[in-house]
Amino acid sequence: MSLGYYFLLPVIFSFLTPYFKKIGLLRASSILLNLLLFLQTLVYTMMSLPQISLFSIKPPLGIAFILDGYSLLFLLIFTFSGLMVSLYMPWFFKANPRRDEARFYLFFNMLIAGSIGMILSCDIFNLYIFFEITGICSYTLSAYNKDKLGLESGIKYLIIGSIASIFIVFAIMLIYLQIGTVNLGLIAQRFHQIDPKISVLIVLMLFIGFGTKAELFPMNFWAPDIYQGSISPVNGLFSSVVAKAYLFVFFHLFYLFGLNSKYMLFVMVIGAITFLVSEFTALNQTNVKRLFAYSTLGQLGILFMAFSTNSIDTVSGALFHLTSHSISKLLIFLTLGILIHKLKSMKIDILGGFKSTFLTIVLVISFLSVLGIPPFSGFIGKILILKGFALSHNYAAVAFILLVSIVEAIYFFRIIAMMLDKSRAKVIVNVGVMNYAILAVLAALIVLFGIYPSLLLHYTDLAANALLHPTNYLTYALGVGL
Amino acid sequence: MNLKKELRLKHIILSLLSSALLLSFLGLLMQVKTNTYKTVGDIFLNLNMQTATANAVTSVVTFFRGIDTVGEVTVLFLATSGVALMLSSTQRTSKKVVKQESFVLHVGSRLLMSVIILFGVYIVIHGHLSPGGGFQGGVVIATAFLLLFLANPNMSLSHGILTLGESLSGSAYVLVALIGLFKMNILLGNFLPHPVGEIGELVSGGIIPVIYILVGIKVGSEMSVIVEYFIKEDYYKEVYDA
Amino acid sequence: MNSIFLLLNLLPILFLYQFGGALHVELNFTSSFTLSLIQTPLGTFFAYLSMISFLLVTIAQKSKKFSFSYYMLQLLLSLAMFMIVLAGDFITFFIGWEIMTWSSYFIISKSKNIDTKSLQKYILFSLASAFSLIAGMVIAYSFAHSFDFSVISSAFRDMPFNIQITLIVLFSLSFFTKAGVIGLHYWVVDTYSKAPDLFSSILSAVMSKMGIYGLFLIYGHIVGYQELKMMFGTILNGTNFGYTLAWIGVATSIIATFKAITQDEVKKLLAYSSIAQLGYIITVIGFGTAYGVAGAMYHTLIHTIIKLLLFINVAAIVAQTGKSKFSELGGLIYRTPVSFVMLLIGIIGLAGMPPLGGFASKFMMYNAAIDTKFALILIGMLFSGAASFLYCYKLVYGIYLGHPTSKNLETTKEVPISYLIPQIILALLLVLTGAFPGAFIKVINPVLVEFSLSTIPYSGLGVMNSAVGSFNGLFIISAFVVFFVLILLLITRIKSKAKNNLNRFDISYCGEVPAQDTSLHFGFGFGADLHKIKFANAILKRSSSSFYESLATQTKKTSELFSRMYYGNIHNTMLIILLFFSALFFIGVN
Amino acid sequence: MLEFFNDTQTIHFIIIVGSMSLFFIGFYGIATQKNLVKILVSFDIMESALFLFFIGLHYKVGLVAPILDKHLKTFTNMVDPVPQAMILTTIVIGLAVLALGLSFGIEYYKLTGRNDISKMNELRD
């Protein structure tokens, strides 16, 4: 047991991918790898937190992977999503044969590994490297189709990613110049001693860097294009893993560096605008992938609003919402993969053009969950967030979220009405056994967390505590008592 | 006409903006107080004797911040795979062209290549003693192949061997990290003997030269692959246009 | 399948009966809130009301084939309502509320004549209602630190005045939407008329009552009528608040009544009538007097019975004939006499005529208005009550009287027995509530105690007491029955003679003899001339739809505006990021 | 004559001016250029500017490279090795992204004959 496995095993796997392909065990080994990592995460849920794994030399000098409550929740989401997608991929490649299947697995596993690296690393420069690993994997995966659209989305993502990484590198350099360290613990300790103007500049650069990748409003015009150009399982990963990893880093640094009091309102307003604009834009979409991309952006907007509140209850609710949103969006995009393959179209009409009771039910469950309607898991998250806002007497935020949610409901229920409309021409869609199982598991989780939220709330509370009061994290990151 | 004007206006505004940003950045960075803390690097310098590596940068790269380098190698590997994914489809059709290289070019490029490779290997294995190391040496090795390609566009590298080199060296690197975990309970632990007295010798520093050699092989093969893909790509296009 | 679900629908009733009034379940949902079911007198009343309605509708469903998922959703809906009325806290209430929303949505979507627009209307209004509820409950939470009704109720007193107002407005809006108060009724008519025919009865009879339950809960339980009095002050014998609410209710009932008269579709008429009847309830619910509450509750009961009866009746006719418009029906009295009698009983109740239950409830409500000296309100109620006679008449004329408009109406058979059984039960209930109005006082009194209002004196099963006077339902109904039987005998004697001699074409007008295909069903169109009355025209030509449609257009425009930003030019995207950086830099650093 | 440069302050001043000018040349480049290759070049210019900036500011007069040789036996009076290691890593990453971006560009050019990023607008609703 070591946290290093989360990164090193996928790395070995990706180095050896050509040979796995040669012996024909590519798919199986990828599933096995993701299963192993998921099981390891399950073991970690039973251990005391935080956990630390050292590399070479103990922090604050060296780099370490630290697992606290906050990262545990994300680790669960990421490894679980990875497992689900790796189980889904054999069907996908059977349905859409590609020559470069091996390379897909390589990038897919490294995408998860990079995201996990970002949430575990306690060193900002190391974090930047994982940021780039995730970035390169996502650029390539979005261009994976190698057609016009795919390449266009790959190029766009690459350009945006380069801007983001330049700002982040600049910020890291300024930090090192100012306080001579890249360890998150030490930075957190010394951050207030940075020259105030430079500290604003650093924060601004980190904000632009991670905010761009986390798809915040004025910097997210590229995001729907990326979703449109890439394949559905990758959309699912972008929505439920990658975007969440950037969000993780954003708020990890936000609270570690103690920026919450100064920039809370700013982040909240930006989140609110993101939410508003995305949901309104989604109304006008006819491409199904873009539609759910906007919906993802909107949900990220709510999450940004809720995460910045500095109150444990709200953040716990936001984490709950994040988890359920990850599950729902994964479900939606995996289902879209099936539908797009069967109906050979990306228009929104495909959602009204299929006949499969099972798919209809799971899609409806995930839609209702995203909308925050009980008894599905999205409701718990939303009510906790709203409760948190109300408790801090921020009634404007409550009203805002609810009003925009109605806009959100318009397009979700338009789709539901489309699916239920019997007058449309329907194509019978057979879901494979494996897909049946995957989607059923995801839908079951949505229902389970909706009717038995304590199961997940335990972890979200842990996570919120760890995020807002990172004292334990800091002692480990500073290497005290190791 | 109107559009042109607009464009020019945009350029002027943006250049003004850039200059304004430049000036304010200069103003900001000039008045920066120097760091009052002891940087991590200074501490590393003090600790560096323990690693028995003469080159402090190397020990930082491969040991103190070793996981960075694993990541870095991975990034390069991923980029190579990405390039291969993108450009490999056109690779097959480009074989038709026959254009013999001249004898002088043939012999000369191979002679030079061996020297360059030797130089690259030297840089790699002396990475812990002198400036240089796996990355630099690997790139030098790749330039040898670049030379070959320039001399003879028909040449192709054996992908099997390159992939093997890539995969094995990369996996061996990770294995070294994992052995550290098993032997010293710390990932990338320096489990090989590295007596301080041997500092400056070719065999010194424990795993550090081993890692750099592995990195050298990996970077060399990867850069060669990238070079090949781009060169062939270019060649392919010329043929395609003609 | 029907029988299985019939049994399943019995279970909640047995469950409730088993606990007898002491049901109290608490479940730790999350660390910060618990789910609780508490049986209050008010909740018990509504629980029985809805459960029995479901049972009756399920009986009626025997005659038609419904899918398993339909029954499942209906069961889910009934359980959700069960959850709503027994909820002891807002989380339970809200969960039930939302499950009710979406399960009914899916049932409605199974209808043959539903369209996307009506579905969207229904769900968006329902969600707006739910979101207004959720906003209210989290605001209440922020002061009470609990979702529990009793805790919020006791904390309500200490909240700032503007928060109190906000809460009342938010909750009222939510429940008004469900009950279909005028202005918020945009979804009601379409949904009721396009839902599956039997399900319309549940929508109108039960689901709208959840809004009424919510209003009772807020005014009576959470805020408390005493508190309302203190907050808003009094006017005449009632509260200012009640007076405002009463005007809303009166406006609703008058407008909806006029709209109902002009409808051609049977179910649309019933939908507007439903809005109008709920308008009465909303009129009296805020009075804050014992008689107001009692009247509202009694009318809730009566309206549930009547609307179930009428909708099942209409559903049966629609199923039997395939026609759903007055202009296509007519003359069914000979073909479906039992249905006719049932509908007749229904509309007598609906019009509030003695001797049936409808009179008792109207009596109660008018008395409450007299009691509080809200004379104008009383006039309004009487006015709309009188106008409602018109649509009642239209209902019975359009379907059963007049002449058949098409050939196949003349060969229609009596509706299946499974439709008739619930109707007969309901008609009996209507008679019983008319005969023994006093029995209901026993149900009302515990609720009044719960709301800390004075109780109504009970003097015998048949006697309905009120502030102004009392009447003996048993006596009235006995007298009525005697007269009815006498007149019936008289008529049948005359009729039996006339029937043999007359054909419906045995008339001529202006010397012309109507041909076989001439429609003689004229009366259905009445109400069309209502436009000529200035006052009625003013009501009829206005509609909330233009407002909501312009809202939809605005939303669409906004959406188009925003989506123009996402037009995929990466160069501009990049530029925006850089400019955003520069702007923040110049603002933040300098 | 060049003693003028034997002052840390002066060197830092020159480095900041030079590297920042370079940085904002790159900035101007990515803001105005529409050719994909030029944009990638601009990114590289910006990155190089950052490398110069970072390495340069860690140089102080009198310090030597952190490598032992025959004459130097202890690690004292040496420049900070960490920035160099970090720059090494960043260079490799920059190279990797550049290669990837170029391969995307080539493939896109082959498909469409365009490399103007402002005309890449097939991804839209």
Model confidence over A287-346: pLDDT tens digits?
999 999 999 999 999 999 999 998 898 999 999 999 999 999 999 999 999 999 999 888
Contact A398 C124 (CB under 8 A): no
- For C460-491, b/e burial (b = at least 16 CB within 10 A) is ebbbbbbbeebbbbbebbeebeeeeeeeeeee
The SS3 of residue B68 is helix
Residue B5 lies in a domain: no
C-alpha torsion sign, points C473, C476, C482, C485:
negative
User: A104 to chain D, minimum CA–CA distance in Å?
Assistant: 15
Residues of chain B positioned with their CB less than 8 A from the CB of D68: 54-55, 199-200
Residues of chain D positioned with their CB less than 8 A from the CB of B90: 110
Question: What percent of chain C has pLDDT above 70?
Answer: 94
Pairwise CA distance, residues A208 & B23, whole Å: 20
Q: What are the DSSP calls for A109-139, one per residue? A: HHHHHHHHHHHHB-BHHHHHHHHHHHHHHHH
CA atoms within 13 Å, Cβ hemisphere of C16: 25
From the list C31, C127, C134, the residue facing A409 with the nearest CB is C127
All residues at 6 or more sequence positions from C501 whose CB lies less than 8 Å from its CB, including other chains: none
Question: What percent of chain A has pLDDT above 90?
Answer: 69
Pairwise CA distance, residues A279 & A349, whole Å: 19
Q: What is the pLDDT of residue B238?
A: 45
Q: Enter the tokens of residue A207.
A: 């904000």
Pairing of strands C463-465, C34-38: unpaired
Backbone angle region of D50, left / alpha / beta, with phi > 0 → left and psi within -120 to 50 → alpha: alpha
Closest CA to C23 of C47, C55, C2, C59: C47
The SS3 of residue A213 is helix
User: C576 to chain B, minimum CA–CA distance in Å?
Assistant: 12
Q: Which residue has the higher pLDDT, D78 or A112?
A: A112
Q: What is the pLDDT of residue B131?
A: 87
pLDDT at C518 over 80: no
Residues of chain C positioned with their CB less than 8 A from the CB of A160: 570, 573-574, 577
Res. C509 pLDDT band, cuts 50 70 90: low
Q: Does A165 touch chain B (CB under 8 A)?
A: no
From the candidates A61, A153, A169, which should be mutated to test the interface with D, based on the most D CB atoms within 10 A? A169
User: C584 to chain B, minimum CA–CA distance in Å?
Assistant: 12
Q: Where are the domains of chain C?
A: 1-223, 233-475+518-543, 551-588
Q: What is the pLDDT of residue B241?
A: 43
Q: What is the pLDDT of residue C517?
A: 66
> Residue A356 phi/psi, 5° resolution?
-165, 110
Pairing of strands C470-472, C24-28: unpaired
> Residue C564 phi/psi, 5° resolution?
-70, -25
Res. C406 pLDDT band, cuts 50 70 90: confident
Residue type for position A479: G
Count contacts between B and D (CB, < 8 Å). Answer: 136
List beta partners, residue B55: D67
Give, in order, the Cα–Cα distances in Å from A412 to each of A34, A365, A417, B2, C566.
32, 11, 9, 44, 20
The SS3 of residue C509 is strand
Closest CA to B72 of B157, B173, B152: B173
State pLDDT tens for residues A349-385. 898 888 888 999 999 999 999 999 988 999 999 999 9
Pairwise CA distance, residues C77 & C102, whole Å: 9
What stretch of H or E contains C496?
Answer: helix C473-501
- Rounding to the nearest 10 degrees, give the CA dihedral for residues B94, B95, B98, B100: 100
Range of the domain at B217: 52-241
Q: What is the pLDDT of residue A101?
A: 87
Pairwise CA distance, residues A362 & A365, whole Å: 5
Residues of chain A positioned with their CB less than 8 A from the CB of B39: 176, 180-181
State pLDDT tens for residues B188-208. 888 888 888 778 788 888 888
**Chain A residue with Cα closest to D118:** A156
Res. B95 pLDDT band, cuts 50 70 90: low
Residues C192 and C200 sit within 8 Å (Cβ to Cβ): yes
Residues of chain B positioned with their CB less than 8 A from the CB of C582: 17, 21
List beta partners, residue B32: none
Residues A377 and A367 sit within 8 Å (Cβ to Cβ): no
pLDDT at B237 over 60: no
pLDDT at C251 over 80: yes
Res. A81 pLDDT band, cuts 50 70 90: very high
Q: How many helices, marked H, and strands, marked E, lie in chain D?
A: 3, 0
Residue B31 lies in a domain: no
Res. B91 pLDDT band, cuts 50 70 90: very low
Burial of A46 (0-12, 13-18, 19+ CB in 10 A): exposed
Res. B155 pLDDT band, cuts 50 70 90: confident
State pLDDT tens for residues A140-165. 999 998 888 999 999 999 999 999 99
Residue B213 lies in a domain: yes
Residues B71 and A117 sit within 8 Å (Cβ to Cβ): yes
Residues of chain C positioned with their CB less than 8 A from the CB of A166: none
Contact C578 D121 (CB under 8 A): no
The SS3 of residue C451 is coil
Residues A223 and C581 sit within 8 Å (Cβ to Cβ): no
All residues at 6 or more sequence positions from C394 whose CB lies less than 8 Å from its CB, including other chains: C261, C269, C326, C523, C524, C526, C527
Q: What is the pLDDT of residue C329?
A: 83
User: D7 to chain A, minimum CA–CA distance in Å?
Assistant: 19
State pLDDT tens for residues C146-162. 898 989 999 998 889 99
- Whether the ipTM is more than 0.90: the answer is yes
List beta partners, residue A287: A347
Burial of A357 (0-12, 13-18, 19+ CB in 10 A): exposed
pLDDT at A392 over 50: yes
User: Angle at CA A48, nearest 5°, toward A42 and A53?
Assistant: 80
Residues B226 and B83 sit within 8 Å (Cβ to Cβ): yes
Closest CA to A107 of A13, A223, A37: A13
Q: What is the pLDDT of residue C516?
A: 66
Closest CA to A323 of A373, A381, A267: A381
The rounded Cα C181 to chain-centroid distance in angstroms is 10
Residue type for position A177: L
Residue type for position D116: D
Neighbours of chain B (3+ CB pairs under 8 A): A, C, D
All residues at 6 or more sequence positions from C230 whose CB lies less than 8 Å from its CB, including other chains: none
DSSP state letter for A195: -
- For C69-89, b/e burial (b = at least 16 CB within 10 A) is ebbebbbbbbbbbbbbbbbbb
Query: Which positions 175-214 of A are in contact with B (Cβ < 8 Å)?
Result: 176-183, 190, 195, 197-198, 201
The SS3 of residue C452 is coil
Maximum average pLDDT range among B97-101, C200-204, C510-514: C200-204
Backbone angle region of A55, left / alpha / beta, with phi > 0 → left and psi within -120 to 50 → alpha: beta
Indicate the number of domains in chain B: 1
Residues of chain D positioned with their CB less than 8 A from the CB of C570: 117-118, 120
- Indicate the range of B8-22, C315-329, C535-549 predicted with least confidence: C535-549
Pairwise CA distance, residues C309 & C304, whole Å: 8
DSSP state letter for A183: B
Residue B237 lies in a domain: yes
**Domains of chain D, with CATH numbers?**
2-117 (1.10.287.3510)
Residues A161 and A169 sit within 8 Å (Cβ to Cβ): no
pTM above threshold 0.95: no
Q: Which residue has the higher pLDDT, B7 or B52?
A: B52
Pairing of strands C238-239, C463-465: unpaired
C-alpha torsion sign, points C38, C39, C43, C47:
positive
